[in-house]
Chains A and B, each alone.
Chain A
Amino acid sequence: GAVVSQHPSWVICKSGTSVKIECRSLDFQATTMFWYRQFPKQSLMLMATSNEGSKATYEQGVEKDKFLINHASLTLSTLTVTSAHPEDSSFYICSASHILGGYTFGSGTRLTVV
């Protein structure tokens, strides 16, 4: 149980374009979804927390207008990187908290902006 499906697993986009990353909870309701970014050889850094039906809460230093998060249903949360630049190239990963008290991670998305 407690599976989070994340797509795409990797994406290459041109500078200035937007990219959408989806995370779906397959067998449970993810009332809260967390979005992390991980640069090479670094730790997972929390970008934002989203709750179903409400606006996301962004961590300090994360631009909410650049990283758009939508959590319109209990099973789907999306992160859109708008006007992507090479410095946005990173590993993006979602994590859902569930009622059993644990956290389930998506498989991650490797974003490369060229």
Chain B
Amino acid sequence: GENVEQHPSTLSVQEGDSAVIKCTYSDSASNYFPWYKQELGKRPQLIIDIRSNVGEKKDQRIAVTLNKTAKHFSLHITETQPEDSAVYFCAASQANSGYALNFGKGTSLLVTP
């Protein structure tokens, strides 16, 4: 099955700096790579996703890059703000094939003012 590795487990940055979280996956059949932000006790919130036919996607301060050959994808947050502090999860799946999302272990991001 799919195995998703995520690094780092914790990340502390100063407000205004950039944050980068990296994930690798094992199953070359995976074609959907979402990133979720989760606040304590709440459901994961989709912040950005990318499919395997695209190498990069950007939405304001958030971007995701995908390298299919190396089987890794990264989340980039620029101009971080204190409200970006949360736990972030990457995931991978074969979307539209009845497969579940497989999650990385999460990164606890702390943005200090």
Contact = CB atoms under 8 A, between A and B. Distances in A.
A105 B34 CA distance: 13
B42 A107 contact: yes
Contacts of A93: 43-44
- The CB with the most chain B CB atoms within 10 A, among A34, A46, A93, A105, is that of A105
Secondary structure dominating the interface of B = loop
- The CB with the most chain B CB atoms within 10 A, among A51, A91, A97, A103, is that of A103
Interface string B84-113: 000001000101101011111110000000
B47 interface: no
Given A103-B34, A105-B43, A107-B42, A44 B98 contact: no
Contacts of A95: 100-101
Contacts, number: 51
A7 B51 CA distance: 31
Interface residues on A, range: 20 to 34
Interface in B31-87: 32, 34, 41-44, 46, 49, 51
Contacts of B49: 102
B41 A108 contact: yes
Contacts of A105: 43-44
Interface residues of B, number: 21
Given A101-B32, A103-B34, A106-B43, A46 B100 contact: yes
- The CB with the most chain B CB atoms within 10 A, among A32, A44, A95, A110, is that of A44
A71 to B, nearest CB: 13
A94 B62 CA distance: 26
Contacts of B43: 93, 105-108
A46 B102 contact: yes
B89 A43 contact: yes
Contacts of B41: 91, 108, 110
A32 to B, nearest CB: 5
Contacts of B106: 42-43
Which 5 residue pairs are nearest across A and B when measured between Cβ atoms?
A105-B43, A34-B100, A101-B95, A43-B103, A43-B105
Given A93-B44, A101-B32, 4 more contacts: A43-B89, A46-B100, A101-B95, A102-B34
